[in-house]
Amino acid sequence: MLLIQCPYCGERPEPEFVYGGQAHIARPQPSAELSDQEWTNFLYRRNNTRGAHAERWRHTHGCGRFFNALRDTTTDHFLATYKLSEPPPRPPAESAE
């Protein structure tokens, strides 16, 4: 079970949270002019990073807020958690893919 540092509430056990997948996926614009491949990438393609992975979590059974986390998917160690408005912190070089 992961211990997750909610940026608003502090460290809480994983069952309080819901995982929201890869973070920082912006809907491409303008929608009407996108190619099928651009839509496919937006809807289905994910980095599936081996290493520092930026991802969304929601503290569902707590403050209810969304936030982002940087987690090393080779160790499950959280490198950082940060608010949605913040850019992802730079991962330490050795944990990058």
Partner 1 sequence: MRATMQPFSALSLLKRGLSGQRGWAAQWRSPEPKAAYDAVIVGGGGHGLGAAYYLASEHALGSIAVLEKGWIGGGNTGRNTTVIRSNYLFDESAALYDHSVKLWEGLSQTLNYNVMFSQRGVLMLAHTVHDMQVSKRHVHANRAAGVDNEWLTPEEAKAFCPPLNIGDVRYPVLGAALQRRGGTARHDAVAWGYARAADALGVDIIENCAVTGIRRNTDGSVAGVETTRGPISTRRVGVSAAGHSSVVMKMAGVELPLESYPLQALVSEPVKPVFPCVVMSNTIHAYISQSDKGELVIGAGTDAYTTYTQRGGLHISSHALEAVCELFPMFRRLRMLRNWGGIVDVTPDRSPIIARTPVPGLYVNCGWGTGGFKATPGAAHVFAWTIARDEPHPINAPFTLERFRDGNLIDEAAAAAVAH
Interface positions with partner 1 (CB under 8 A) = 1-2, 14-15, 18-19, 21, 36-37, 39-41, 43-46, 48, 50, 53, 55, 71, 73-76
Cβ 56 to partner 1 shortest distance, Å: 10
- Which residues neighbour 67 within 8 Å (Cβ) at sequence distance 6 or greater? 6, 7, 8, 56, 57, 58, 59, 81, 82, 83, 84
Cβ 9 to partner 1 shortest distance, Å: 18
Cβ 44 to partner 1 shortest distance, Å: 4
**Nearest Cα to 56, choosing from 93, 4, 92?**
4
